[in-house]
A = this chain, B = another copy of it.
Amino acid sequence: MTVHVDLNISLDGYATTTDQTPENPFGDDWGRLVAAYTATRTMQERIFGDTSGAGTTGVDEKYAAAYFDGIGAEIMGAGMFGLHLHGEDPDWRGWWGEEPPFQVPVFVLTHASRPSIAFDNGTVFHFLEATPEEALRRASEAAGGRDVRIGGGVDVVRQFLAAGLVDRLHVGIAPILLGRGENLWKELRGLEAGCEVTSEVAESGTIHVTFRRR
């Protein structure tokens, strides 16, 4: 069992965006940050349900496919599930409609107690208050020998990175400067120690950098 992280960040390290408005709830920056990823064949199918084979098939697609490959469980923060906005709503089932792209057990880290939510496609959200180590133990059991992904947000990812719990960190770096938001690289000096770091540039201009624990 290995622990994976995949994030889209800007060239200056930002993994969140700050230009949301009521009229444009995700903001333009988010679209620019994830454009190359959502354009891939894998993400077109997983996120938009397009099984026609539409979508890009180059270097970005290789990483998009790897995003789901071999993953048996996911851990995410309360914010990624939307509890910062919808935590008061007992009927909130996440952002992803009735076909969440995960298709595995997902452990949502939160102080709030909520009943688990199961979907027909295999996605089950569990809610728990736990340290990174405890959450990883639970997710690892649920993964049944497959791998665990730390999905986000960036604060949760940084906690797992700082605790030395991540075996493979992949970032897709969009060649744009956002200048503000939550920075993935904050307080991670020396993360490369004990890792092999490889990089390649996709046709889209996205720079894919991967840290693999030796």
A residues near B, CB below 8 A? Answer: 11-13, 175-180, 183, 185, 187-192, 197-201, 205, 207, 209
B199 touches A177 (CB 8 A): no
What is the total number of copies of this protein in its complex? 2
If the complex has contacts A11-B209, A12-B13, are A188 and B197 also in contact, measured as CB distance less than 8 A?
no
- The one of B175, B179, B185, B197 in contact with A197, judged by C-beta atoms closer than 8 angstroms, is B175
Chain B residues with CB under 8 Å of A209's CB are 11, 175, 207
If the complex has contacts A12-B13, A207-B209, A209-B11, are A177 and B189 also in contact, measured as CB distance less than 8 A?
yes
If the complex has contacts A12-B13, A209-B207, are A189 and B200 also in contact, measured as CB distance less than 8 A?
no
Given the complex of chains A and B, what is the CA–CA distance between A12 and B10 in angstroms? 11
Given the complex of chains A and B, what is the CA–CA distance between A180 and B186 in angstroms? 9
B185 touches A12 (CB 8 A): yes
Given the complex of chains A and B, what is the CA–CA distance between A176 and B179 in angstroms? 20
B179 touches A189 (CB 8 A): yes
Chain B residues with CB under 8 Å of A189's CB are 177-180
B176 touches A192 (CB 8 A): yes
If the complex has contacts A198-B205, A199-B207, are A11 and B185 also in contact, measured as CB distance less than 8 A?
yes
Chain B residues with CB under 8 Å of A199's CB are 175, 201, 205, 207
Distance (whole angstroms) from the CB of A121 to the closest CB of chain B: 36
